[in-house]
Chains A and B, each alone.
Chain A
Amino acid sequence: MDDDSQADSAFAFTGDWREFAPIAFTNLLLTIVTLGIYRFWATARERRYLWSRTRFIDDRLEWTGTGLELFIGFLLVFALLFLPLLLLNFVLQGLVFRDRPGIAAAIVVIVYVLIFYLVGVARFRALRYRLSRTYWHGIRGGADDPGFAYGWSYLWKTFVGYLAIGLMVPWSMTSLWNERWRHMSYGPHRFVSEAQWGNIFLRYLIFYLSPIVLFVLFLVFVFIGGLAFGMSGGFDPSTPPNEGVVFAFIVAAAIFYLVFFVVMGVIAMIYYSAFYREAVGALSLSDLDFAFTARTMDWIKLFVGNVALVIFTLGIGIIFLRYRNWKFFIDHLEATGEINLDQLTQSATREPGQGEGLLDAFDIGAI
């Protein structure tokens, strides 16, 4: 495989899916019989394995997060966010019944803005939590900032990003990435992040303009199809279309739907692969510079592999997705420069008490 090319990389993943399988299957079993509660402990077990099979220079990473702290994070979010929202739902129903849709709509808008703010806070805190639980040579990372200010940045930068008909999205993405990482540290060192939106803007334009091109192509296709159909007898509105015509329409729509999403998916990956190369490549820590080498084809292979794995195992393969994603991430992560072990002292940041409950609640993936 591509193990040879990994030999001289600072990062290497040495895991084996056959070694991971017993972990994944017992996690699945315990998650089912506990009605989902075990998944916090399952996540911790999974990460403990993945981290322990990740080598950086001369030693492995170590994950020290526990299922209990993830569970506590979940309970906090449930009590402080979901229960109030559930009650608010009753209030909204009452307002609608009383013919006060204006007030109800205002409350809904406020709640959505609040949730958007919290998604930003959640992203920040999840990164902080993960760094604070990742050890190498007995040293961990973290951040002193609790991320509440980042929530506001996330809110307004995303808003501004979409303001100019979406053209400033690359700016908001890189700027938020920089802001998030500049608050993070490992040992005594702060991360430096200098991602430039200009470097990915061209790729973004392809991503941005292609739906319009696709739609125009679709219109042309429909027009030609309609002409052909008109010549072959036409459409009589007084009689229902026969099964053949309906079938043809459904097939055409399905093909277009598939083509649209496959093409859009590929184009999205062209952009995202550029974004991650730029974003990770702009990161440095003391004398270390990071790089991410995954090209668009690598992302497509990962994605197609994931989809095939899930389909051909009738869904069971889902339990291996995090393994595959982590392997992908580490295989393509590079670092150059040097580390002075004398100066890499323990992080002075406060260790967060609970896990990524907020992020978990919003169902957002890693990285």
Chain B
Amino acid sequence: MAVTAWHYDGRSAIRRRVELRPEGDGFVLVEGDAAHGPFAWSDLTGRGMQDGAAVYAHRTLDGWRLGLDGEIPPDIAARLPREERYGRLIDRIGLWKASAAFAVIAVLALTGVYFAPAAIAPLIPPSFERRMGDAMVGDFGGRFCAAPEGQAALAKLVRRIDPEGGDLDVRVANIGMVNAVALPGGKIIIFDQLLREAESPDEVAGVLGHEIGHVRNRDVMQALLRQLGLSVVLGGVQGDAGGYLNAVIGLTYTRAAEARADGYAIESLRMADVSPVATAAFFRRLARFEPGDGRAATMLGYVSSHPLSRARERTFRAAAEKGANYTPALTTEEWIALRRICRDDPKAARDDSFGPF
């Protein structure tokens, strides 16, 4: 009924030859005339096989080891714990079942992070979103332009594209970059360089419609939520892999959102009787900075966050209706005033450090 074994008591490095003898609810280790223990069976943890010995550790005694190298009778074997292999949970379920279950959970988590923001974003109170936008932007370092005539023209343009609005906060920033951005809380910032390079107010109207589309679709909040969710879910993925996965998932969503915002812009222009042809021309000029049509261009379209300028040009041009009663988005005087909104405002700080791109 005894098993021969080697033993470390965890207090010194001396290797002892012992015999394991069951006693009561546990066992003792007999070394010559002396006996160590008793120890409880339930305190043992399996540490695997080593040189033909089944090795066990003690739950509370640091360094205590027992290597059973003799033949183990079945009644003792039944009381010995098994070695942990993949981890306690997976050992219990089995490797393949556990892998399948984890895969399902992973897909669900990614799907949730991908689709949930669209459902959650509308639930966030606009007042909270506005405070967030204020916190992010502040006074934009004094770069906002506010020449009175220009401001009036901008207000008119916004009313024309978005007649039922009122919760929008559209500003022009004195920044040398052809761009416009939508931020949380209905904030839209048009960069001055875009006004300078636009050839008509209709072009600005198209861009504005696009950014208003982002605001109405709550795209900004969705993007923030999605980014947050992805960085938590993919937090465990090491190094570059997580970054790439994050970027790819983020981009597929962004492209859909951009196309939706373009659709919104086209619809707004139609309702306001502003021609979309000018916006198409704007994209044609942007397209000159991108590689030509063909495979490379299509590839680039898939990887860049905005649809390719050429594709957008075609969309806007196709939206023009024959015989429609289009009128310019602003009068000539208003358009001139809007373009001078920064030059006529001596207080606005100029910043060229961002571009031009």
**Residue ranges of A at the interface with B (Cβ–Cβ < 8 Å):** 26, 29-30, 33-39, 41, 45, 48, 52, 58-60, 62, 64, 67, 74, 78, 82, 86, 90, 93-94, 96-100, 135-140, 187, 339, 341-342, 344-346, 351, 363
28 contacts between A and B (CB under 8 A): A29-B99, A33-B100, A34-B106, A35-B233, A35-B237, A36-B238, A41-B87, A45-B85, A59-B15, A60-B51, A82-B235, A86-B231, A94-B138, A97-B137, A97-B141, A98-B138, A98-B139, A98-B141, A99-B140, A136-B13, A137-B13, A137-B15, A138-B8, A140-B62, A187-B13, A342-B12, A344-B12, A345-B12
- B136 close to A138 (CB less than 8 A): no
- A34 close to B86 (CB less than 8 A): no
Q: Which residues on A sit within 8 Å (CB–CB) of B95?
A: 26, 30
Residue B26 at the chain A interface, CB threshold 8 Å: no
Contacts A35-B236, A39-B238: A341 and B12 contacting too (C-beta < 8 A)? Answer: yes
- B13 close to A30 (CB less than 8 A): no
Residue B307 at the chain A interface, CB threshold 8 Å: no
- A90 close to B136 (CB less than 8 A): yes
Q: Which residues on A sit within 8 Å (CB–CB) of B48?
A: 48, 52
- B136 close to A33 (CB less than 8 A): no
Closest residue of chain B to A90 (Cβ to Cβ) is B136
Residue B14 at the chain A interface, CB threshold 8 Å: yes
- B236 close to A62 (CB less than 8 A): no
In the complex, per-residue mask of B122-136: 1 if CB is within 8 Å of any chain A CB, else 0: 000000000000011
Q: Report, as a range, how many residues of chain B touch the other chain.
A: 35 or more
- A30 close to B10 (CB less than 8 A): no
Main secondary structure of the interface of A (DSSP, over half): mixed
- A93 close to B10 (CB less than 8 A): no
> Of B11, B137, B143, B235, which is in contact with the most chain A CB atoms at under 10 Å from its CB?
B235
- B65 close to A138 (CB less than 8 A): yes
Closest residue of chain B to A78 (Cβ to Cβ) is B235
Closest residue of chain A to B109 (Cβ to Cβ) is A35
- A344 close to B13 (CB less than 8 A): yes
B8 to chain A minimum Cβ distance, whole angstroms, is 3
Q: Which residues on A sit within 8 Å (CB–CB) of B9?
A: 138
Closest residue of chain A to B7 (Cβ to Cβ) is A138
> Of A67, A78, A96, A138, which is in contact with the most chain B CB atoms at under 10 Å from its CB?
A138
A344 to chain B minimum Cβ distance, whole angstroms, is 4
B245-292 residues with Cβ-Cβ distance < 8 A to A are: none
Q: Which residues on A sit within 8 Å (CB–CB) of B85?
A: 45
Q: In the docked arrangement, what's the CA distance between A341 and B90, Å?
A: 39
- B99 close to A345 (CB less than 8 A): no
- B99 close to A33 (CB less than 8 A): yes
Q: In the docked arrangement, what's the CA distance between A26 and B233, Å?
A: 22
Closest residue of chain A to B235 (Cβ to Cβ) is A78
Q: In the docked arrangement, what's the CA distance between A62 and B62, Å?
A: 13
Point out the residue from B13, B86, B142 that lies within 8 Å of A99, measured CB to CB.
Answer: B142
B326 to chain A minimum Cβ distance, whole angstroms, is 37
In the complex, per-residue mask of B1-33: 1 if CB is within 8 Å of any chain A CB, else 0: 000000011111111000000000000000000
Q: In the docked arrangement, what's the CA distance between A36 and B233, Å?
A: 10
Q: In the docked arrangement, what's the CA distance between A363 and B238, Å?
A: 9
In the complex, per-residue mask of B64-89: 1 if CB is within 8 Å of any chain A CB, else 0: 11000000000000000000011100
